[in-house]
Chain A
Amino acid sequence: MNVLVLKLVNKIYNASEVKVHAVKDVTIDFAEAEFTCIVGPSGSGKTTLLNLIGGLDMPTSGEIIIGGTNLSKLKSSQLIDFRLNNIGFVFQSYNLIPVLTALENVEFILLLQKKTKAERQHRAIELLTQVGLGDKLHKRPGELSGGEQQRVAVARALASRPRFILADEPTANLDTKSTENLLEIMEKLNHEEAMTFIFSTHDARVVNKAHRVITIEDGRVKSDVEQLPH
């Protein structure tokens, strides 16, 4: 069953006097619990595509439908709520709240969902334990390594039980060991939580773990292949 459908999506930026056609006629479907990787050279439109899927940006034309909801039809406030309940984000530079502990960072998104304190704590501890940070619940981001911070970010993205996780080059700032560790965790959660993972990357190790690889060049889908993870 498709949870995400992109139909002839275009995105044109009108920055300065030069129009930039960042995404061109992209049509893709994503099924539930997919573990998909979007690859392509720098400037190919990977991040723009993820921003469009995540509802952070609106397409110039075309439709993006998530679970039957057309994102273009939503008002700004509805879109924020939609993101809160349907999409989990993992950013390249972690983007944790520096003044909060690992536990509080994960709890924060549940607070936005108006969960009770008990619910928040239970879910946050469960996820942080799953990503191997059960002993670092009360550490602040500054006290964690890059790999650990990114694991907190993954736990935060999963906390709200979204339909899918969007990760923009999640391993770009990590060393080999942390990258492997993170990929294992993401793969495990993909199975356990049955969530769709879509991530952009340059990293061959990440590509090798993906079940499906979509290659973008100059804003167009160049190839879309399924593979057995290595």
Chain B
Amino acid sequence: MIWSVAWKNIWRNKKRSLVVIFAVTLGIIAGVLLVGIMEGWFRERLDSAIYNEVSHIQIHNKEYVKNEEINLTVRNPDETAQSIDSLPGLSAWVKRTKIIAMANTPWANTGVLIYGIDPEKEKSITNIYKKIVTDGGRYLTAQNPGDILISDKTAEILKLKQYLISDSIIRELAVKKVPATVLAKLETLKDKRFRSPKDFREVLKKEFSKKELDRYGPLITEKALDYRIRNKIQISISDREGNPIQGIFRVCGIYKTTNTGFDQTAVFVNAGELAKLYGGDDLLTHEIAVLLDNMDQAEVMKEKLSHISGENTVRTWKELAPDAAMMNDFMIIYYFIFLGIIMLALAFGIINTMLMTILERTKELGMLMAIGMNRRRIFGMIMLETIFLTFVGAAAGMLSGWTIIKILGRTGIHFAGWGEGFEAIGYAAKVYPVVTPEFFVFTTIMVITTAIISSLWPARKALKLNPVDALRTV
């Protein structure tokens, strides 16, 4: 019955209670969204780090880690590979050649890290083959040995990401209901080739009003994009004796991950074709990348692989992608800080409301003490009222937050304006928020703790009442 009384008491002043409940609901929704976005970003980053970049474990020559020279290959790669095959708990592994190179086109050049891979085997360990952009060609194949797969960013640097307005594009835009006035302006740009996104953006800015640009700019840019697939790239490396050598590759495809830092340097070719360039009899193995069945086993597997691979260095994803590892380790602390700040703000609102409630019910509390309600029960009743008040808001907040996260988890949130900035530090511009059941358990504990702490002051104030004085109040 005390529970029932406490529940009824919170509805005495409906408007005031609803304001507090609404505040708690909004606070929890904000917390759920904030953490959902953080978790979504983190998962995206972790997935990108593991499935595009570093895998779970990598094996290198100890010296290669310090100085990425062509001769510093993994020691005894074949024996190491055979031993890896016999280990349980491994999902897949690949050997790679990795050489620092210079990539040149007639218009620009840039330093790259060229990966010599087995395209088919690589599919079992990285998702790069799934990251080919629209109208960006295709993934590497063994049948086209002279191909090179580069990123959107590298294409931009090497001026292979070009823009061209043609008759067919103008027709396509007309079908998409782009106004004739805009199409007429595009006619003036017809058949002109722009060798960088920046050049094209500037021309569009000159030709179109801000309104037209906001409305049709992204569509025009998308349609005018023309990756120079099959364009030649000259790759320059040093051979095993340190002599400079060059080779020509043709762009077969353009990929794009969420980490611009990785994209800016990583280019992929067939390992055999790279071997022809550096003139080795055997394929050089600079890196063995391993994917595990369970990433939590990374440290255990590292120990085993260290034992197998002798003088080589074995590193886990936590060492190879320390930013992702840090996020993984500190996520719970981030949750605690975010929710802690929200709860602290809410606690003051709850305390204020409960103090007002105590003030208004002074006479009644005096009566309850007079007729024999002991302090423990009065304390419990005030605490229950605070918990109910907080928990109704929290439950509504968690339900609403969960629903919003479910919707946004499907549609994603595109931070278009800050996309380049996010991708530069390895995070996706489009995030798919996600929250775990553990988060809701954690939030529930935080809410109950906040409610209990918030109830202490009002409850203590109620206990300090003198029944005689309290009964005299109006």
Contacts and interface: CB of A to CB of B under 8 A. Distances in A.
Interface string B431-474: 00000000000000000000000000000000000011001000
A89 B370 contact: yes
A56 B467 contact: yes
B180 interface: no
Contact of B364 (A95, A109, A160): A95
Interface in B358-392: 363-364, 367-375, 377
Contacts of B364: 95, 97-98
Interface string A107-125: 1110111000000000000
Interface string A46-62: 00000100101100000
A91 B472 CA distance: 11
Contact of B5 (A88, A89, A91, A108): A108
A95 B363 CA distance: 8
Contact of A57 (B368, B371, B373, B468): B468
A108 B1 contact: yes
Contact of B2 (A56, A77, A111, A160): A111
Contact of A80 (B5, B11, B373, B471): B373
Contact of A99 (B2, B11, B369, B468): B11
The bracket for how many chain B residues form the interface is 20 to 34
A84 B471 CA distance: 17
A85 B374 CA distance: 12
B9 interface: yes
A112 B369 CA distance: 11
Contacts of A84: 371-374
B12 interface: yes
B8 interface: yes
Contacts of B2: 111
Interface string B1-17: 11001001101100000
A57 B12 CA distance: 30
Given A99-B11, A100-B5, A108-B1, A85 B372 contact: yes
Contact of A56 (B11, B370, B374): B370
Contacts of B371: 83-84, 88-89, 109, 112, 156
A119 to B, nearest CB: 13
Nearest to A76: B375
A38 to B, nearest CB: 17
A81 B52 CA distance: 71
Nearest to A79: B372
A23 to B, nearest CB: 13
A138 B56 CA distance: 68
A169 interface: no
Nearest to A159: B371
A66 B375 CA distance: 23
Interface in A72-96: 77, 80-81, 83-85, 88-89, 91, 93, 95
B369 A80 contact: yes
A85 B471 CA distance: 20
A44 to B, nearest CB: 17
Nearest to A110: B1
A148 interface: no
Contacts, number: 63
Given A51-B468, A56-B468, A91-B471, A99 B372 contact: no
A206 B142 CA distance: 110
B2 to A, nearest CB: 7
Given A97-B364, A99-B5, A111-B2, A54 B11 contact: no
Contacts of B368: 97
B385 to A, nearest CB: 11
A81 B468 contact: no
B370 A98 contact: no
A54 B372 CA distance: 11
Given A80-B375, A91-B471, A112-B377, A54 B370 contact: yes
Counting chain A CB atoms within 10 Å of each CB, the highest count among B5, B369, B370, B373 belongs to B370
A109 B368 CA distance: 9
Nearest to A111: B1
Nearest to B369: A80
B11 A77 contact: no
B364 to A, nearest CB: 7
A99 B12 contact: yes
A98 B372 contact: no
A100 B369 CA distance: 17
A77 B374 contact: yes
Contacts of B363: 93, 95
Nearest to A107: B1
A112 B372 contact: yes
A63 interface: no
A83 B9 CA distance: 24
A160 B8 CA distance: 24
A160 B5 contact: no
A34 interface: no
A85 B371 CA distance: 9
A116 to B, nearest CB: 12
Contacts of B11: 99
B1 A80 contact: no
Given A100-B8, A111-B2, A80 B372 contact: yes
A80 B364 CA distance: 16
Interface of B: 1-2, 5, 8-9, 11-12, 363-364, 367-375, 377, 467-468, 471
9 contacts: A81-B372, A89-B367, A108-B5, A111-B1, A112-B373, A112-B374, A113-B372, A156-B371, A160-B372
Given A56-B370, A80-B369, A109-B372, 19 more contacts: A54-B370, A77-B375, A80-B373, A81-B374, A83-B371, A89-B367, A89-B370, A91-B471, A93-B363, A95-B363, A100-B5, A100-B8, A104-B1, A107-B1, A112-B371, A112-B373, A112-B374, A113-B372, A156-B371
Minimum-distance CB pairs A-B, first 7: A84-B372, A99-B8, A95-B367, A83-B372, A80-B374, A111-B1, A56-B468
